[in-house]
Amino acid sequence: MSRAFIKFITAAFFYIAFAVYLYQPYFKYFDRLQFLLVINVSLAALGCYVLSRRWMAAFGASFFAGAIYGFGPFLLGLGKFHPTAGFPAAMVPWMFCLAAMGPCGRWRLIRWPLVAVPFLAIVVFFQAAAYFRLFAIPMQVRLCAEDFIGFLAAGVSAKRGLILIGFYHVPIAALVMGFAMLVKARRFGVITIFFIGIILVFLGPVLSVSPVIWLAIPVLCCSVLIGEGMQGLVLASWADRKWVLLSTIVMLVLSIVTLLAATKFANIFAGLGLRYTKLFTEAAKMYILGAIAVTIVFFMARGKLRLTALRWAILCSATAIDIFFGAGFIVDTIF
């Protein structure tokens, strides 16, 4: 049995176990179709894990890339629409594997037509659903200005019943590093796919497809970048310290902005905003946790200390804590 297969089975086991943990308290209220929620998040996480192996050697980086996609605010948030709403989003990473792991050498150009497969699959799903009078996500549902609160504090968006479009807090540091690596490596294909997804989100309904589902593509891109950014932070050397410092600064800025938002809600008349104040405060704590973790990595890089095992332990622990509490809160809020 190969090591790659063992890692695949290990990742699948933890994804399924966590999915069951999240939804198990509500199994007694589920009908048969609602068990698809567990399958969707597990398939999404595992698909992103497999896709990310194309660019990442470290198991931990791919594992958390999958966890952030499958158990992130967006995938979990789709559960409030219909059990089938998350299925096309779960299939997107598997479809992209055709292009990412497709032909090499002189047949490399065939990958570009294969990039269209996930887009076509989403259209086919919604066309078939419309034929059978199944509307997984209403076409009139679109992003509004309030939804962007999720970029700062996903918990607040969940509590207010908004569309969840952001990420958890600690992984933002790795996302900053991942974007820096993406630009530095000039991966224009990934950048193009990312912006096509963003454009489709704001175009409105196209071919009976709800614009919300197109978010799966940029969210997937960012999830892979987070995994790559984690690997980059672990392997960062003295020459890369400026990018690590940038990640730290971003985390500190986000923590300050979140605390200011908490203060603003605390001043609402008759304490009506206190529940949101608490959520913003909890988000700020997670940003501070992420800032501390990345600051430690920065001083390691500055001191030319590799200590990769310690770096992995610090980053993985902080990220796991954030995902564990964040995912649990979102599922409990939806149900």
Q: What is the pLDDT of residue 130?
A: 82
Residue 9 CA to its chain's centroid (Å): 21
pLDDT for 157 beyond 90: no
pLDDT for 65 beyond 60: yes
Stronger pLDDT, 115 or 68, i.e. the higher one: 68
Q: What is the pLDDT of residue 270?
A: 56
**In the block, which residue shows the tokens 């999240």?**
22
Give the residue-averaged pLDDT of 135-152.
Answer: 81
Are residues 73 and 122 in contact, defined by beta-carbon separation less than 8 angstroms? no
pLDDT band at 105 (very low <50, low <70, confident <90, very high): low
Are residues 144 and 319 in contact, defined by beta-carbon separation less than 8 angstroms? no
Q: Please give the model's pTM, rounded to 2 decimal places.
A: 0.92
The C-alpha atoms of residue 245 and residue 297 are separated, in whole angstroms, by 9
Q: In the chain, how many domains are there?
A: 1
What's the pLDDT tens digit per position in 175-231? Answer: 999 999 998 888 888 899 999 999 999 887 878 888 899 999 999 999 999 999 999
Residue-number span of the structural domain to which 148 is assigned? 3-334
Stronger pLDDT, 102 or 189, i.e. the higher one: 189
What's the pLDDT tens digit per position in 18-48? Answer: 999 999 999 998 888 899 999 999 999 999 9
What's the pLDDT tens digit per position in 254-313? Answer: 999 999 988 887 776 555 567 778 888 999 999 999 999 999 999 999 988 889 999 999
